Structure 1
């Protein structure tokens, strides 16, 4: 059978563009890619990149406070959201152009269109045209989830936050995951009064000890946190959102940001009609090769709901291209994937939480909590934490959790050692770099508890 393309990729995010580029440029495949919004996907356009730039902007007030502690005369001044957003938009345009050029230079045909699956080897574009391909890769990512309740149409999500004309004076953030907590810290740092609601403890999927330290410091900085509370309804009165909660409280906000999780973006994609098996939450079910139950259809990235991280999607897309078009079968190892949460303080984590490790067997736990030299000298009350969770029998480090400035930078390096199966003795044998915060990772000699 003759096909228009060897590969048709649906989705121009991190996983899709990597798979398309590698298949075309390195393995000589005839590749097409369809993206209905903007090249670059969630991470580049409305996720990691703009969020991290907002993190940098929001940290300036605390930096100014710190430099005064070092003898400098400095004032914070006011934040110009319009100026920042103009520069942010230009940066995203620049990055999108790079992504597009990368596809074109690799020989990928790009369709700026929505595409849906209509069979094992066919997709339909928004203009009604049908394209055939030997293989189809679904890489459409995920989208923010907003539950159904009275007034849900009056909320915004993380997709909208970067496009606000003005910053709200008072915002309610609903949710307790990393996205909710990151934006609570960002908006607070930009001068917004932030209130956060969640039905359960914040950051509950992370290590409890690390989570508690982060949440305590968020509250100490002035973020008003309420757990065990659910929004019942929202009424819009002019530009004000009147929120009624499950405790009977009624409060007014300029904006309500929902960050209550993300769901795979498979609605209306035609996958079920094409025979592709989906999980109850809409995720595409795949095997270890990212292949669906329909042999010609594959999926990578957040749409598979394995690990929702950009570098994971990139690895999956690259491995798919090498396996299918490069005759180099390669699986992605989803074990010991490090991640960072860009709250203030920042959080870096890799491996098992203490509770997860305890469930597997006896462990030793090493923890050091202290005031770092830099902020302590400036008079700030901030504390940092270094934590290692060690399997008692083998002494292999099962988990590392860091709450500290630049924790994401530190955990990247620790993850290399953990991926190599490093033991506590090997951490101990490493000479410390002094004076640094990270030296605590190799100087903790006595466990604080056994479990």
Structure 2
């Protein structure tokens, strides 16, 4: 499908304009290769109507009588209509992209969805195809675990390889991927700690005489969070070992760094440096991504979200670099825990998010004491004899930081996998190109944050993509891939663009079209779906 530019014109305080704008912006996030957005926003009703009455005749007869905000069209002058018409158009577009009917896998080919080809191994067991396993999964994050477990429960013999390369600061972790170890789970636990601090501040008014906010005991918080994460790591290992007793399939776990040697062979190196190889009919690449390093002199002094949750010492006075949700979530809970926080933002906060919600997020962070420096970039970092870090910026020096946290985006961890030698197509940003999770090498598949298959980089999307792919390859039938799954879980289109990570991670399996509700907590702002 060729890219379509959808235009939404209206005046700022019109609720119907904001609603239509949010729907189309949300659609462009779900289908970035198919939908582009241009917003024509006027400060008041009068200026919008002046524009409208001057231009509506050029959009055809249906548009000539349109008098209200919003006024929406696609392409040059293909009139859509007002708010309700635009939402209906978005629903029809979503249905067209997802396909008129569920796709059904026959001999490994998705009929009715197009693009997926027979890899030659549908319905075969190791005794038939001659390889050690039916499937090798490279990457033990949410998507890889979901695919491996589902395939094994459907009778496949699976080898799951996972190895955490230490971050530049030396941080490592266990089985489960980013979300469990250095993402969703620890972030929410630290956020909860920050919320408790806010509650302590109000407790005296509710009769709690011993309430004293004080300073958080970082060592205790860190220890208990890491204990909880390790219990989850252990749980995943236990789940894998139990599958053999519950089905005809199995999952063999290998804690080794994998390199693909050919279309069926994977070499892996364990933590002691021992190298081994194994083979499979199919290979799944689900290695996720890692934070981008800070690209300036002294950038190695900065840590990332891979490190913040396991710091041995309290972060102290912290500088956060970045304006995305990872940066702002970290800044929020650190401020809530009582640390002085400054954030450097290149241009705007939360690019691509609903601007009304972003404005409220910004106000809440500022009320919590976070210093936001918009339009300021770091140029160099230098550590002094006292251990404090001085940051030279585009607007002068900032001094006295104990910690600098870089949160400027993530990159797929695909460079050293051997995909280039195998001829697997990758995009310029390193993401693996695929159609319905299948690469241009038919028996090599990919899911999660490392793929370019119209994905939102979210845990439930990767899980759903993995389970659906397992159904298609080993269960005899299945639905569309990750992008379609995201569209299905979102319902038709949300009435408002909400924080994608928070809303989908928690609400995706059941959510209905809803509205964004800001949960006001000075320590950190989260946006969730309120069911309607």
- TM-score, structure 2 as length reference: 0.65
Query: Residues 286, 401 of structure 1: CA spacing in aligned structure 2 closer, same or farther, 3 A cutoff?
Result: closer
Give how far 1:416 is off: 2.9
* Equivalent residue runs for 1:295-374 within 5 Å: 295-305=442-452, 306-332=455-481, 334=483, 337=486
Cα distance in 2 between the residues matched to 1:335 and 1:329:
12
1:112 to 255, 259, 263: 255
1:294 to 412, 426, 441: 441
Q: Does 1:149 align with 2:296?
A: yes
Give how far 1:206 is off: 0.7
The answer to whether the Cα contact below 8 Å between 1:167 and 1:192 also exists between their aligned partners in 2 is no
Cα distance in 2 between the residues matched to 1:316 and 1:410:
14
The answer to whether the Cα contact below 8 Å between 2:290 and 2:410 also exists between their aligned partners in 1 is yes
Q: Does 1:40 align with 2:136?
A: no
Cα distance in 2 between the residues matched to 1:285 and 1:257:
31
The answer to whether the Cα contact below 8 Å between 2:294 and 2:406 also exists between their aligned partners in 1 is no
| Structure 1 counterpart SS, 2:483 | coil
Unaligned runs of 5+ in 1: 339-348, 352-395, 424-437, 443-451
**Cα deviation digits, residues 254-280 of structure 1 (max 9, x gap):** 110000011111021101111100011
| Structure 2 counterpart SS, 1:43 | helix
1:197 to 315, 340, 344: 344
Give how far 1:111 is off: 0.6
What does residue 160 of structure 1 align with?
307
What does residue 259 of structure 1 align with?
407
Give how far 1:119 is off: 1.2
The answer to whether the Cα contact below 8 Å between 2:139 and 2:288 also exists between their aligned partners in 1 is yes
Query: Residues 255, 298 of structure 1: CA spacing in aligned structure 2 closer, same or farther, 3 A cutoff?
Result: same
| Structure 2 counterpart SS, 1:416 | coil
Cα distance in 1 between the residues matched to 2:290 and 2:474:
30
Q: Does 1:121 align with 2:270?
A: no
* Equivalent residue runs for 1:153-302 within 5 Å: 153-238=300-385, 239-287=387-435, 289-302=436-449
Give how far 1:415 is off: 6.6
Range with greater deviation from structure 2 (82-91 or 275-284): 82-91
**Cα deviation digits, residues 265-323 of structure 1 (max 9, x gap):** 10211011111000111001111x20000001000111115211111110011011111
| Structure 2 counterpart SS, 1:84 | helix
| Structure 2 counterpart SS, 1:272 | helix
Give how far 1:68 is off: 3.7
The answer to whether the Cα contact below 8 Å between 2:304 and 2:405 also exists between their aligned partners in 1 is yes
1:416 to 494, 511, 518: 511
Give how far 1:333 is off: 5.5
Query: Residues 223, 272 of structure 1: CA spacing in aligned structure 2 closer, same or farther, 3 A cutoff?
Result: same
Cα distance in 2 between the residues matched to 1:409 and 1:24:
26
Q: Does 1:55 align with 2:203?
A: no
What does residue 137 of structure 2 align with?
9
The answer to whether the Cα contact below 8 Å between 1:337 and 1:415 also exists between their aligned partners in 2 is no
| Structure 2 counterpart SS, 1:95 | helix
1:78 to 204, 215, 236: 215
| Structure 2 counterpart SS, 1:330 | coil
What's the Cα RMSD here? 2.8
| Structure 1 counterpart SS, 2:135 | strand
What does residue 231 of structure 2 align with?
94
- TM-score, structure 1 as length reference: 0.76
Query: Residues 336, 213 of structure 1: CA spacing in aligned structure 2 closer, same or farther, 3 A cutoff?
Result: farther
Give how far 1:65 is off: 2.6
**Cα deviation digits, residues 64-106 of structure 1 (max 9, x gap):** 2333444544322431111111111211111001111111112
| Structure 2 counterpart SS, 1:85 | helix
Q: Does 1:399 align with 2:495?
A: yes
Give how far 1:410 is off: 12
**Cα deviation digits, residues 325-380 of structure 1 (max 9, x gap):** 11113213636959xxxxxxxxxx968xxxxxxxxxxxxxxxxxxxxxxxxxxxxx
What does residue 148 of structure 2 align with?
20
Unaligned runs of 5+ in 2: 1-128, 165-173, 244-249, 516-527
Query: Residues 42, 251 of structure 1: CA spacing in aligned structure 2 closer, same or farther, 3 A cutoff?
Result: same
Give how far 1:46 is off: 1.2
Q: Does 1:31 align with 2:167?
A: no
Cα distance in 2 between the residues matched to 1:120 and 1:188:
49
Query: Residues 292, 218 of structure 1: CA spacing in aligned structure 2 closer, same or farther, 3 A cutoff?
Result: same
**Cα deviation digits, residues 15-38 of structure 1 (max 9, x gap):** 11111111112x111110111132
Query: Residues 263, 97 of structure 1: CA spacing in aligned structure 2 closer, same or farther, 3 A cutoff?
Result: same
Cα distance in 2 between the residues matched to 1:135 and 1:411:
31
Cα distance in 1 between the residues matched to 2:175 and 2:531:
40
